């Protein structure tokens, strides 16, 4: 039985270059075709495809296997016409040689699209794709880029931020220094990639629906979230105000610590307010209070105590703020820090105890329920 080694040329370059009727079959005929195609355009990758076909046929012959090398080349410029002309040439080869199998040799992804046409007429044992060694990386990059451009989601994720950045770059160069312009563009690209990479876009897309559901359901958390946002803004205002009242020569780190010391209590109250609103919703539903929601206010308060303790310690060391006093006795910075840390641990332990006694659902159950709800929204 015969193995047919087929060089496929879907673009029709070989046929146009040599003006030889297709298909061409036989060792001598294909070798002559290599010479004609190479003389017409030595840089054409089809020449390498023809030589690879001859090499494969020679290796089969060395293994004592009967083989026939052949070339099929499209005779039409349209994709449908090209595939039909190749199909007719394959029918001619199958009728002449009655092969038991075929080995297809191609030099591009376009030629490889003809593979189903070949398989419909003869079993294909192997596909040999030829890439010129000097152009291997270039061609691989080309096909990866082509596949990337065909993906609509990747285009919107990568190309849109890059395009916006390139449009803004000349404007920024005209109004700011080169360093500020590059920094601004880099920040924009980083924010866009994080926005997509952290799936923030999905949460933002689903937020109007969640807000609408909360309003229609009469959830108390809607009001407490608004109050929490206002308290957070107040905390930020007082933090900036406290940092601005420091001496002009104060280091940036000291200003940041002063901001944290003044703003953390307000942030903590905002967080506890939002968590209490969620707890009230749980009580109104009358389905039991889930453990994570019950523990959250204590965790927020404990973290706020620890952060304020460290901030007060650093400020006391820099003599920006005086340590606290108890019953008229001033505490040292270390004693003050230890008191805040112990208080935070105690509050956290109280939260764990209360949650374990009153809570009815574990963290894993809450996460699973939220994932199911997100899946239904999508």
- Is the CB of residue 358 less than 8 Å from the CB of residue 292? no
- Is the CB of residue 34 less than 8 Å from the CB of residue 54? yes
Say yes or no to pLDDT of 311 above 50: yes
Task: Indicate whether 274 and 222 sit together in one domain.
Answer: yes
Task: Indicate whether 221 and 366 sit together in one domain.
Answer: yes
Q: Which of 250-264, 309-323, 355-369 has the lowest mean pLDDT?
A: 355-369
Q: Is residue 134 part of a domain?
A: no
Distance CA(275)–CA(283), nearest Å, equals 13
Q: Name the band, by pLDDT with cuts 50, 70 and 90, for residue 366.
A: very low
Task: Indicate whether 67 and 103 sit together in one domain.
Answer: yes
- Is the CB of residue 27 less than 8 Å from the CB of residue 139? no
Task: Indicate whether 231 and 347 sit together in one domain.
Answer: yes
Q: Is residue 115 part of a domain?
A: yes
Determine the average pLDDT of the residues in 130-146: 61
Q: Is residue 10 part of a domain?
A: yes
Task: Indicate whether 180 and 222 sit together in one domain.
Answer: no
DSSP label of 248: T
pLDDT at 234: 92
Task: Indicate whether 331 and 253 sit together in one domain.
Answer: yes
Task: Indicate whether 120 and 177 sit together in one domain.
Answer: no
User: Of the segments 65-69, 320-324, 347-351, 370-374, which one has the largest average pLDDT value?
Assistant: 65-69
The phi and psi torsions of 219 (rounded to 5 degrees) equal: -75, 135
Task: Give me the residue label for tokens 């190309």.
Answer: 159
- Is the CB of residue 135 less than 8 Å from the CB of residue 143? no
Among 129, 159, 186, residue at a domain's last position: 129
Q: Is residue 245 part of a domain?
A: yes
Among 129, 152, 186, residue at a domain's last position: 129
Q: Is residue 294 part of a domain?
A: yes
For 181, the domain range is 139-198
pLDDT at 104: 93
- Is the CB of residue 282 less than 8 Å from the CB of residue 293? yes
**DSSP string of 27-93?**
HHHHHHHHHHHHHH-TT-HHHHHHHHHHHHHHHHHHTT--EEEEEEE---SSHHHHHHHHHHHHHHH
Task: Indicate whether 66 and 174 sit together in one domain.
Answer: no
- The residue with greater pLDDT, 77 or 231, is 231
Distance CA(377)–CA(231), nearest Å, equals 31
Distance CA(59)–CA(277), nearest Å, equals 78
DSSP label of 156: I
- The residue with greater pLDDT, 348 or 278, is 348
Average pLDDT, the chain: 81
Among 160, 180, 198, residue at a domain's last position: 198
What's the domain count of the chain? Answer: 3
Residues contacting residue 190 through CB under 8 Å, at least 6 positions apart: none
Task: Indicate whether 218 and 183 sit together in one domain.
Answer: no
Say yes or no to pLDDT of 372 above 60: no
Q: Is residue 78 part of a domain?
A: yes
Task: Indicate whether 186 and 270 sit together in one domain.
Answer: no
186-245 confidence digits (pLDDT tens):
888 888 777 777 777 777 777 667 666 655 555 777 788 889 999 999 999 998 888 888
- CA nearest 132: which of 58, 54, 50, 10? 50
Determine the average pLDDT of the residues in 284-301: 72
pLDDT at 377: 47
Query: Please, what sign has the CA dihedral across residues 297, 298, 303, 309?
Result: positive
CA 5 to chain centroid = 42
Task: Indicate whether 209 and 335 sit together in one domain.
Answer: yes
Q: Is residue 279 part of a domain?
A: yes
User: Of the segments 145-149, 158-162, 281-285, 338-342, which one has the largest average pLDDT value?
Assistant: 338-342
Say yes or no to pLDDT of 325 above 60: yes
Task: Indicate whether 369 and 261 sit together in one domain.
Answer: yes
Q: Is residue 39 part of a domain?
A: yes
Determine the average pLDDT of the residues in 77-104: 91
Determine the average pLDDT of the residues in 283-294: 64
């Amino acid at each position: 039985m015969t193995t047919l080694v087929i060089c496929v040329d879907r673009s029709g370059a070989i046929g146009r270059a040599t003006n030889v009727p297709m298909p061409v079959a036989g060792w001598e005929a294909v070798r002559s075709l290599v010479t004609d195609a190479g003389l017409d355009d030595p840089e054409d990758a089809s020449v390498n495809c023809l030589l690879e076909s001859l090499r494969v046929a020679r290796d089969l012959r060395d293994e004592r296997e009967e083989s026939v090398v052949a070339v099929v080349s499209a005779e039409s410029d349209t994709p449908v016409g090209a595939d039909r002309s190749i199909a007719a040439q394959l029918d001619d080869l199958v009728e002449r040689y009655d092969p038991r199998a075929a080995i297809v040799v191609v030099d591009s992804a376009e030629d490889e699209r003809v593979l189903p046409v070949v398989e419909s007429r003869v079993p294909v044992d192997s596909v040999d794709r030829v890439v010129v060694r000097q152009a291997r990386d270039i061609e691989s990059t080309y096909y990866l880029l082509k596949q990337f451009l065909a993906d609509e989601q990747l285009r919107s994720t990568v190309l849109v931020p890059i395009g916006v950045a390139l449009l803004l770059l000349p404007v920024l160069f005209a109004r700011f220094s080169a360093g500020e312009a590059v920094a601004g563009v880099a920040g924009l690209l980083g924010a866009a990639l994080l926005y997509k990479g952290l799936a923030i876009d999905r949460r933002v897309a689903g937020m109007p629906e969640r807000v609408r559901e909360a309003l229609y359901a009469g959830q108390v958390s809607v009001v407490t979230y608004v109050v929490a946002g206002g308290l957070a803004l107040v905390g930020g205002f007082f933090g900036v105000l406290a940092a601005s009242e420091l001496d002009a020569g104060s280091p940036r780190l000291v200003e940041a610590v002063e901001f944290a010391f003044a703003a953390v209590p307000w942030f903590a109250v905002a967080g506890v307010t939002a968590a209490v609103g969620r707890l009230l919703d749980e009580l109104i539903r009358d389905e039991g209070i889930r453990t994570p929601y019950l523990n959250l206010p204590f965790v927020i308060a404990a973290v706020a105590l620890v952060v304020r303790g460290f901030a007060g310690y650093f400020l006391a060391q820099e003599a920006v703020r005086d340590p606290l006093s108890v019953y008229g006795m001033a505490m040292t910075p270390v004693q003050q820090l230890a008191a805040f840390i112990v208080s935070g641990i105690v509050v956290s332990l109280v939260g764990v105890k209360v949650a374990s006694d009153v809570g009815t659902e574990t963290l894993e159950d809450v996460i699973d329920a939220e994932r199911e709800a997100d899946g239904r929204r999508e």
